[in-house]
């Protein structure tokens, strides 16, 4: 398709924009233009500079001072601007939805929605009745029915994301930026989101849309800008590019390579005869798991399938001792493991790569070296003193093996891209020489290139005889990566697919056909969705004391 015949007005643009952090040039002379009534996709690998660009556009970061006239400046609505704070950008009409829900969990839904622009009545005091009414209307407009006076944290992640969306669109925004808005949404919510995006486009609002899900881009975006290594390598109508071309632009590789290697890096097919290295039997946690049993053999990748809230993460946590089960057994390499104890599970050789790497995994202020060595320290110490030379060796080995991109072992992990943070976490657990690796969404939120690397790594690890339990919302990843898939629904195993039966079709059927708990009509409140049940349920875990 040719370029749009009439380009609408430029709303927000940057030319020759650079942003340098200590040791890293995150953005290098980027040109970017958002136009009214246009949905502009912004894609690139992790570390390509997407988040940095967004943060510059929204006043979180200040760009580097211009090196030449007309470069490094933000043009908004025809005039040069500088946003000193996010507040200034918001007041100017730039509204942002961040990838990780950035709201205040203890405050009510309505308060979150209106924070900083509450309707005020007499004496400048907040008019709560009006605020609640307007919040309710705004959320109903997005197909959500919740009690807006309830604390935000009682909603599921997806519902919280919808609140963030409502917040972003209910201000008088001229530019709406969405950073990975669908990563925690259910399909139904994604449909709503797309509806909202189309509505914004019709209203003449410029939408900047960041996503790793390429299919989505074709569904809602008009234009695409591809970032790679801090540079904008391509801008043009998205319909003019096919997915393969898009991927090759992102990766900076030739199309031939990509096609040859496929989009995922799993080889599949492991020995399924050996004695199980992990045997979980009848794990039960009130409200969360109902008698979940599964086995993993050495060298085998077992996928855990199911929808958000079906008990996938909970199963992994119960096995790893992070969620004490009410009943059930965990046996690793023939030896029973005391349940509900993370140290016991780690000693037995179980390592869990948690879903939320920011909150449950990395220590951002510590270096790559310290993060990797953290869990393995007891094994690397003698008489309570850390053997520094051994730590160096271990860290060096894993940084090389996992291709961790950092300026060196002493760079702070917080400064790395998401994919590299994930690799650091993986390295941490591999340094423990585990027998079983539990991976909860190992590739969520990381870019295509790093994703392929992590997938390949999982494959290699299994090849080395590790038992792997893989949780992934990415169907393709789950199907191609797993030798078997155990399908969960509402906290119980509903089917196990093995060999040739591991297909998308069978998996969907298994999820769909299983006897379900109360189904939800499209108009049902999101708080009744499995997603919404998941979060508070998780919160109520008895004795859940790992924080």
Q: Give 232's DSSP letter.
A: E
**Cα gap 131→126, rounded to integer Å:** 8
CB 410 within 8 A of CB 368: yes
CB 250 within 8 A of CB 290: no
CB 166 within 8 A of CB 113: yes
Answer for which of 105, 336, 408, 463 binds other proteins (CB under 8 A) is 105
**Shortest approach of other proteins to residue 520 CB, angstroms?**
16
Residues 106-135 contacting other proteins, CB under 8 A: 106-108, 111, 115-116, 118, 120, 124-126, 128
Residues 312-351 contacting other proteins, CB under 8 A: none
Binding part of the chain for other proteins, among 315-323, 425-433, 448-456, 537-545 by CB under 8 A, reads 537-545
What is the number of other CB atoms lying within 10 angstroms of the CB of residue 11? 22
Residues contacting residue 466 through CB under 8 Å, at least 6 positions apart: 298, 299, 434, 435, 436, 437
Residues 276-315 contacting other proteins, CB under 8 A: none
The residues that bridge with 30 in the sheet, in sequence order, are 17
Answer for which of 10, 147, 326, 476 binds other proteins (CB under 8 A) is 147
Residues contacting residue 272 through CB under 8 Å, at least 6 positions apart: 297, 300, 483, 484, 498
> Looking at beta carbons only, is 69 or 106 nearer to other proteins?
106
Answer for which of 87, 335, 513, 516 binds other proteins (CB under 8 A) is 87
The alpha carbon torsion through 72, 76, 82, 85 (nearest 10 deg) reads -120
Query: Sign of torsion, CA 288 293 298 302?
Result: negative
Answer for which of 7, 150, 213, 338 binds other proteins (CB under 8 A) is 150
> Is there binding between residue 540 and other proteins (CB under 8 A)?
yes
Reported as half-sphere exposure (CB side, CA atoms, 13 A), residue 430 has a value of: 23
- Token pair, residue 229, equals 């290594």
CB 496 within 8 A of CB 487: yes
Residues 47-86 contacting other proteins, CB under 8 A: 60, 85-86
> Looking at beta carbons only, is 90 or 192 nearer to other proteins?
90
> Is there binding between residue 90 and other proteins (CB under 8 A)?
yes
Number of residues that bind other proteins (CB under 8 A): 39
> Is there binding between residue 153 and other proteins (CB under 8 A)?
yes
Residues 407-436 contacting other proteins, CB under 8 A: none
- Token pair, residue 501, equals 């039966």
**Shortest approach of other proteins to residue 154 CB, angstroms?**
6
**Cα gap 1→545, rounded to integer Å:** 56
What is the three-class DSSP state of 11? strand
**Shortest approach of other proteins to residue 120 CB, angstroms?**
7
> Is there binding between residue 539 and other proteins (CB under 8 A)?
yes
Answer for which of 29, 204, 324, 536 binds other proteins (CB under 8 A) is 536
H or E element, residue 75:
strand 73-76
> Looking at beta carbons only, is 110 or 318 nearer to other proteins?
110
**Cα gap 99→178, rounded to integer Å:** 8
**Shortest approach of other proteins to residue 174 CB, angstroms?**
16
Taking residues 249 to 278 in sequence order and writing x for each that binds other proteins by CB under 8 A, - otherwise, the string is ------------------------------
**Cα gap 15→447, rounded to integer Å:** 25
> Looking at beta carbons only, is 167 or 369 nearer to other proteins?
167
> Looking at beta carbons only, is 100 or 476 nearer to other proteins?
100
> Looking at beta carbons only, is 179 or 495 nearer to other proteins?
179
Positions touching other proteins (CB under 8 A) are 60, 85-87, 90-91, 96, 98, 101-108, 111, 115-116, 118, 120, 124-126, 128, 147, 149-150, 153-154, 167, 527, 536, 538-540, 544-545, 547
């Amino acid at each position: 398709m040719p370029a749009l015949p009439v380009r609408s007005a430029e709303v927000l643009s940057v030319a020759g924009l650079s942003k340098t952090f200590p040791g890293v040039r995150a953005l290098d002379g980027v040109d970017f233009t958002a136009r009214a009534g246009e949905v502009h996709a912004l894609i690139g690998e992790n570390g390509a500079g997407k988040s940095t660009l967004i943060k510059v556009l929204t006043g979180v970061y200040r760009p580097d001072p211009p090196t030449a006239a007309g470069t490094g400046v933000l043009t908004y609505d025809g005039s040069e601007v500088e946003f000193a704070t996010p507040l200034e950008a918001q007041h100017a009409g730039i509204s942002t939805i961040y990838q990780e829900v950035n709201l205040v969990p203890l405050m009510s839904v309505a308060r979150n929605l209106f924070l900083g622009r509450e309707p005020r009545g007499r004496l400048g005091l907040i008019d709560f009745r009006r605020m609640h009414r307007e919040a309710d209307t705004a959320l109903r407009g997005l197909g959500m029915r919740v009690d807006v006076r309830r604390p935000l944290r009682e909603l599921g992640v997806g519902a919280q994301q919808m609140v963030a969306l409502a917040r972003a669109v209910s201000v008088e925004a001229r530019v709406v930026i969405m950073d990975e808005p669908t990563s925690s949404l259910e399909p139904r919510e994604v449909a709503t989101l797309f509806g909202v995006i189309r509505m914004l486009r019709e209203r003449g609002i410029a939408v900047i849309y960041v996503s790793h899900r390429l299919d989505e881009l074709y569904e809602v975006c008009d234009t695409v800008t591809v970032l790679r290594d801090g540079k904008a390598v391509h801008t043009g109508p998205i319909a003019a590019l096919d997915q393969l071309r898009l991927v090759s632009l992102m990766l900076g590789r030739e199309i031939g390579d990509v096609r040859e290697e496929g989009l995922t890096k799993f080889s599949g097919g492991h020995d399924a005869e050996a004695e199980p290295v992990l045997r979980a039997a009848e794990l039960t946690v009130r409200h969360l798991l109902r008698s979940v049993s599964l086995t993993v053999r050495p060298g085998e990748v077992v996928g855990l399938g199911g929808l958000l809230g079906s008990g996938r993460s909970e199963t992994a946590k119960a096995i790893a001792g992070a969620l004490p089960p009410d009943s059930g057994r965990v046996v690793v390499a023939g030896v029973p493991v005391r349940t509900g104890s993370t140290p016991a599970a780690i000693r037995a050789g179980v390592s869990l790569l948690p879903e939320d790497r920011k909150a449950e995994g990395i220590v951002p202020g510590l270096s790559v070296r310290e993060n990797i060595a953290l869990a393995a320290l007891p094994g690397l110490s003698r008489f309570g003193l850390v053997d520094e030379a051994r730590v160096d060796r271990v860290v060096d080995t894993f940084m090389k093996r996992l291709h961790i991109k950092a300026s060196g072992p002493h760079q702070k992990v917080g400064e790395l891209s998401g994919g590299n943070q994930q690799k650091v976490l993986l390295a941490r657990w591999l340094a423990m020489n585990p027998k079983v690796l539990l991976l909860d969404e190992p590739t969520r939120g990381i870019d295509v290139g790093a994703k392929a690397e992590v997938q390949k790594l999982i494959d290699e690890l299994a090849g080395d005889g590790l038992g792997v339990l893989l949780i992934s919302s990415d169907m393709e990843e789950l199907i191609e990566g797993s030798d078997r898939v155990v399908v969960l629904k509402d906290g119980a195993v509903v089917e196990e697919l093995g060999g040739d039966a591991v297909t998308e079709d069978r998996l969907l059927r298994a999820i769909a056909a299983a006897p379900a708990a109360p189904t939800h009509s499209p108009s049902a409140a999101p708080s009744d969705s499995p997603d919404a049940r998941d979060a508070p349920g998780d919160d109520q875990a008895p004795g859940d004391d790992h924080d």
